[in-house]
Structure 1
């Protein structure tokens, strides 16, 4: 038990790269093989937080030179207002991404609304301020918005960003406004629960964070983690989530993120960079 506990303080500084395929309906042939990198859940401000790993992840994804970078939110852990020093620290850590020339798209998580639990009132002023600061750096925050992720010869690939689920701000109808019905798209969200609100067939590939991969996960079990003690119902931890979790025709991948909640430990849930290779879905 002592060895496991010690390892729990070491694992947050290990960075895993998961190579996955993103099968997207109507993807133009000229986009096949392009890479999209995903990081998130930095949780800067937690005691003994692993800012070093966040900086290393930023450095690594820049070196990968993907076609675009997606961020799943939860930049901070517990911040009350925009004057807190963690905000400035976030901006310095994110600055290299913004200056890399790689398009970066993001959503916000519950902690970016100062929500440590679902029954806490969302701090929309903080969230709006954080979004403004990130946008000023050049990181586009998709709060129920969509943008062209990659431009094609005849068809563009869209990224659709959903707002925070805990803040009651994941408005799918608003987020998809203006996206042509047959256009290829990826959907970005913070909380996997937002995925269940999507109509069937609108999201061939969705990406979420929030779970930290369970953060403290029992070895030799498929998904059992401390999340099973904290929430009722089905627990989604990481990787591709089984097909019946959302509506038919939609697929969800959950990234383990980099930071932590409550305690600065990870066990059997290594921090993750996901790199998707785009392929056409037949």
Structure 2
């Protein structure tokens, strides 16, 4: 009898410890430092930094908006050449989106005031989709687009823009770094080929998307650096076993969870990095999947 009581007490303690830590980890922001080799990178872009984060999920119960604020503060302090946001600004469908949009955009104001160029794509929650089978909400999308535009944040929807290292948009024919943004996969709005069709063949480029599954459709040698979010790093993950995570085990489609994807994923010449994001889905818990802000240092490929 004592043995069973001991086991039961141990289980209760372990579950309580898991829950307590799981509620704490969402506030433990992890700043990752990565390097990316970009073919034909202009000399002015050599060594420049690009900050990447996303999946704020503002509006979920016990959301960790304060962690977004911490990430924004770190971005402003580092003053990167550009900021890329991976979508899912909000969490709930359209009935609550107005307040969520206002909160999600307002928290980014310090980046705008620092005059750092910001580009983004939209995620499934921004379309009011909390599951793949659903009806996108054009009203929610329009509200978010307008709020982002008012903040000076440009949504790249299957299109690209060329920048110099000071963040200025370049005219056609001028040499710079192209930022290509791909639309939402769950909303059936992702057309990767369209995002790259206006980029000259040899021009340097970085691609961003919300869902890593859009990466498979990127043409060969189009994305030496592609970044995505959506997975929350599995959100609840066993150490060393990324596929044994809550997101991977509950997904009906293949899931690439965290960090650099396997070299055999996607077309030849393309490379994908998956950011763990800031927010959460379903439950306000993270375990072995700390929220992430990534700084990429760009270098010319040999």
Q: TM-score by structure 1 length?
A: 0.96
Larger Rg: 2
Q: Which runs of 5+ in 2 are unaligned?
A: 1-14
Q: Classify 1:129/1:84 alpha carbon distance in 2 versus 1 (closer, same or farther; 3 Å).
A: closer
Tell me the residue number matched to 1:32.
Answer: 46
Per-residue deviation, 1:151 = 5.0
Q: Is the 8 A contact 1:82 1:126 kept in 2?
A: no
Tell me the residue number matched to 2:91.
Answer: 77
Q: 1:29-108, aligned counterparts within 5 Å?
A: 29-80=43-94, 84-108=98-122
Residue 281 of structure 2 is aligned to residue 245 of structure 1: no
Q: Is the 8 A contact 2:212 2:274 kept in 1?
A: yes
Secondary structure of the 2:283 match is coil
Q: Distance in 1 between matches of 2:142 and 2:188?
A: 15
Q: Classify 1:67/1:125 alpha carbon distance in 2 versus 1 (closer, same or farther; 3 Å).
A: same
Q: 1:83-232, aligned counterparts within 5 Å?
A: 84-150=98-164, 155-232=175-252
Q: Which runs of 5+ in 1 are unaligned?
A: none
Q: What value does the CA root-mean-square deviation take over the aligned residues?
A: 1.7
Q: Runs of 4 or more off by more than 3 Å in structure 1?
A: 151-154
Q: Is the 8 A contact 2:102 2:147 kept in 1?
A: no
Per-residue deviation, 1:233 = 5.0
Per-residue deviation, 1:165 = 0.5
Q: Is the 8 A contact 2:62 2:284 kept in 1?
A: yes
Secondary structure of the 1:190 match is coil
| More deviation, 102-111/229-238 | 229-238
Kindly provide the CA deviation profile for residues 240-273 of structure 1, in whole angstroms up to 9, marking residues without a partner as x: 0001110111000000000000000000000000
Per-residue deviation, 1:125 = 2.5
Q: Is the 8 A contact 2:219 2:267 kept in 1?
A: yes
Residue 264 of structure 2 is aligned to residue 266 of structure 1: no
Q: Is the 8 A contact 1:82 1:129 kept in 2?
A: no
